[in-house]
């Protein structure tokens, strides 16, 4: 369902979230953030953090991991830049306003691509995932953490009811797991390496895809 979230709407939503983002989403998303960072650091080299937001993740990577961070929201990214300067994070090579679907990086440039709580907020997740894989080196990993919608039951009912409001806040709560597996099957150049339940309440997943 491409087009059910629009880029300008998401940009505006995160412009509004920026001043309070760390307070609202700092702690609650921390374990997912830490776990994806551990996976990226295991690979090392050059890592792209897409939808880096206010840069909460940046100081948590090993200093030997070289980082580029991109985000569609300038107000979010401004906070990330402030963090990088205040903490002297010299391993952050670049921060740039950029659409996750049109990454201005060459093919096979990164050892890992990390997207924390991003893929359900983009208008066209499949095309966005394609671009993540394009910029990955062969053998590199795409490391996601995201809320994955329930397949049935009361949680599914709640997520569907909440979806219209959630879209205005900037994400899709009912995003189904099979959307990712269908994308991987169609892409053909990636394999699922892991799906790991994450808090809060295991409704989130850490997901790793490896580029062939």
Ligand X SMILES: C[S@@+](CC[C@H](N)C(=O)[O-])C[C@H]1O[C@@H](n2cnc3c(N)ncnc32)[C@H](O)[C@@H]1O
Contact positions vs ligand X (CB under 6 A): 7, 10, 14, 25, 29, 33, 51-53, 56-57, 71-73, 76, 99-100, 116-118, 121-122
* Residue 181, token pair as written in the block: 């597996």
Which C-beta is closer to ligand X: that of 16 or that of 185? 16
Nearer Cβ to ligand X, position 139 or 200? 200
User: Min. distance of Cβ 37 from ligand X in angstroms?
Assistant: 10
Report, in Å, the least distance between residue 21 CB and ligand X. 7
Q: Where are the alpha helices (DSSP H) in 18-73?
A: 21-25, 30-43
User: Do residues 79 and 55 make contact, with C-beta atoms less than 8 angstroms apart?
Assistant: yes
Structure tokens at 25: 């989403």
Name the nearest CA neighbour of 145 among 20, 50, 13, 36.
Answer: 36
Nearest distance from residue 145's CB to ligand X, in Å? 8
CB of 68 to ligand X, least distance (A): 13
- Measured from the CB atom, is 24 or 157 closer to ligand X? 24
From the number of C-beta atoms within 10 Å of its C-beta (0-12, 13-18, 19+), residue 63 rates as: exposed
Residue closer to ligand X, measured from CB, 71 or 111: 71
Nearer to ligand X, 48 or 190 (CB): 48
* Long-range CB contacts (within 8 A, 24+) of 157-162: none
- Give min distance, CB of 115 to ligand X, in A: 7
């Amino acid at each position: 369902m491409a087009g059910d979230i629009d880029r300008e709407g998401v940009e505006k939503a995160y412009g509004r979230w920026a001043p309070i983002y760390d307070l609202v989403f700092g702690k609650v998303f921390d374990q997912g953030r830490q776990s994806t960072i551990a996976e990226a650091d295991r690979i090392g080299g050059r890592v792209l953090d897409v939808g880096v937001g206010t840069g909460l993740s940046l100081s948590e990577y090993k200093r030997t991991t070289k980082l580029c961070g991109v985000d569609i929201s300038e107000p979010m990214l401004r906070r990330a830049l402030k963090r990088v300067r205040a903490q002297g994070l010299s391993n952050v090579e670049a921060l740039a306003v950029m659409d996750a679907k049109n990454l201005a990086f060459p093919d096979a440039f990164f050892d890992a691509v990390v997207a924390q709580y991003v893929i359900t907020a983009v208008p066209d997740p499949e095309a966005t995932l394609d671009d993540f894989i394009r910029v990955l080196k062969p053998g590199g990993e795409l490391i996601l953490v995201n809320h994955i919608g329930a397949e049935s039951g009361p949680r599914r009912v709640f997520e569907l009811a909440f979806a219209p409001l959630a879209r205005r806040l900037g994400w899709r709560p009912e995003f189904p797991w099979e959307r990712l597996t269908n994308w991987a099957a169609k892409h053909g150049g990636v394999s699922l390496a892991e799906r790991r339940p994450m808090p809060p309440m295991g409704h989130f997943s850490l997901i790793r895809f490896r580029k062939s």
